Amino acid sequence: MSKVRFPSEEWVKELEKELNSSQAYADAAKNWEGDFYFVISPDKDHQVQETTYLYMDLWRGKCREAYLVKDKDAKQPAFIMSGPYSKWQRVVTAQLDPLQGLMTGQLKLKGNMVMVMKNVKAAQEMVKACTRIDAEFLSE
């Protein structure tokens, strides 16, 4: 398979496939209930021109839906995780643990933090799924 640009519709669809084919994710996320906006914003280190919103409906170990959001007001997800492109690039290449990113202020989260902390393994398995996607990033 050829490289898939991050962030994009194609990339989030690949992540959906990876999650839905991962028994480790299914086991780790069996108690997870909640949808997400992953918000990737421009930063000084990259050529990103606009903020990108990726939607994922995650429910009890499966991804029921995933797509690039055209209208950010179309959904009111239970969780919104946001950060600059450079931090997301580090997350999806397993150079930055998302929980570490949250704790150090590199990423922001709106939503039930208790739910997130109870499902740390699910977040780790999601990052592992991200690393299995042959992603293409914008040059610095």
Range of the domain at 25: 4-132
Say how far apart CA 30 and CA 61 lie, in whole Å.
Answer: 5
User: What value does the mean pLDDT take over residues 18-38?
Assistant: 96
Is residue 29 in some structural domain? yes
Q: Is the pLDDT of residue 9 over 80?
A: yes
Q: CATH code at 43?
A: 3.30.1050.10
pTM above 0.95, yes or no: no
Mean pLDDT of 12-32: 97
Q: What is the CA radius of gyration of the chain?
A: 14
pLDDT of residue 67: 98
Look at the chain and report how many structural domains it folds into. Answer: 1
Residue 35 CA to residue 39 CA, distance in Å, equals 13
Predicted local distance difference test score (pLDDT) of residue 139: 62
* Any domain includes 139: no
- Helix (H) or strand (E) holding 65, with range, is strand 62-68
Residue 140 pLDDT: 45
